[in-house]
Amino acid sequence: KCGKIYSLFPSAAICEESTFAVSGSGSSYIIGYLDQEMANLKDKLPNQEQAIALCRKAVRSAIHRDGSSGGMVRMCILASDGIKEHTILP
């Protein structure tokens, strides 16, 4: 059993994604990076810690390259043992 990835929209719509989800003005800066990282995993899904590190690196890259990306991201991981919140700063 593996985790799932969802995109959440301001309209309250929720869409399930297959490998990763990105949105916002900085997303164009990191799509290629995420495609390459996922290809390097060779169809293996990253574990939770690897996924958090991948997300952190991608978000930092977007923040450094896009003036509209803001200064932080809040990430929530919903797991069987509860909800874990992470704040990603540049």
> What does the pLDDT profile of the chain (90 residues) look like in tens digits?
567 788 878 888 888 887 778 878 888 888 888 888 888 887 777 788 888 888 888 888 888 888 787 777 778 888 888 998 888 776
For residue 23, give the amino acid letter.
S
Residue 64: which H helix or E strand, with range? Answer: helix 48-65
What's the pLDDT score for residue 20?
A: 79
Q: Which residues fall within 8 angstroms of residue 72, CB to CB, at 6 or more apart?
A: 87, 88, 89, 90
What pTM was estimated for this model as a whole? 0.69
CB 68 within 8 Å of CB 26: yes
